[in-house]
Chains A and B, each alone.
Chain A
């Protein structure tokens, strides 16, 4: 599975890439909303792992860009330390899944495996 990982915290990004690459996935890592949107315009991904707070602003910009994108729309998993984002939050309704930080490695793998199946 080809996964776009948008996460500006380098340690978390490296760890997720390491785990998912070892599991056989192709992972492209970016650190900003601009890079994420650019990649999504030119490359087909099966899944997007998206941090809500990226270096150049709100990760929901990437979701908005995908919503306006013509063509396949990969599911988005929103990773956030903001515990106020529950299933009733409007942002949660625009993505496939919310993964609250700090998450366990097992939780991350479980979410990714759900979209593999």
Chain B
């Protein structure tokens, strides 16, 4: 019998992803509202309308909104089957290095156990790994270090991202996993892969399975 974490319920994922988006969009909106109010008060006092520090905060929050809008658009394209993958031969270690460089304040601890090459969209896969790592840290132990394992099977590659220590109190993935988790999962499904999750108090592990589709089997 499948655990709640393994049950693939598209409606649950869709509902929780919208909840995550609605939640995350409120954070930059809070900053923007506060900055605008401070600027209004400053202008009433005859000071600068927007000093450089407040302008920087405003810019940062607008960038966050832009990123969320881009993520939502990508998720929408994926759901409608209108996302085009740029598939080609790529090496998993290089993809993981790209993800590692994109992660701010978060360490990916681990490397593939061997040379693993498949026909994937390397950029999309790197974005998915970034999203899973951020989410694992968020709902796992929050230590800023996510353990990574990458293994080669007979016809698939497996990437496992883990934060925290496993315990008995398993619970389902929900909106607090963050929108990045749901978008990353959609990317992996679009690549013909699957995502298996286990989550407990201060623990999360995401097992991403991707078909290898090596060159000869892909007809190249």
Which A residues have a C-beta under 8 Å from some C-beta of B? Answer: 9, 11-12, 14-16, 18-19, 32-33, 53-58, 81-83, 101-106
Contact = CB atoms under 8 A, between A and B. Distances in A.
Q: Which 5 A-B pairs have the closest CB atoms?
A: A56-B142, A81-B26, A102-B30, A102-B29, A105-B37
A83 B38 contact: no
A11 B28 CA distance: 9
A54 B142 contact: yes
Interface of B: 22-35, 37-38, 57, 60-61, 138-139, 141-143, 175-176, 202
11 contacts: A12-B34, A14-B57, A16-B34, A53-B176, A57-B141, A82-B175, A83-B22, A102-B26, A102-B30, A102-B32, A105-B33
Contacts of A82: 23, 175
Given A11-B57, A101-B30, 13 more contacts: A9-B27, A9-B30, A11-B35, A11-B61, A15-B31, A15-B38, A15-B57, A19-B34, A55-B138, A82-B23, A82-B175, A83-B22, A104-B33
A57 B61 CA distance: 22
B35 A15 contact: yes
B33 A102 contact: yes
Nearest to B35: A15
A61 to B, nearest CB: 9
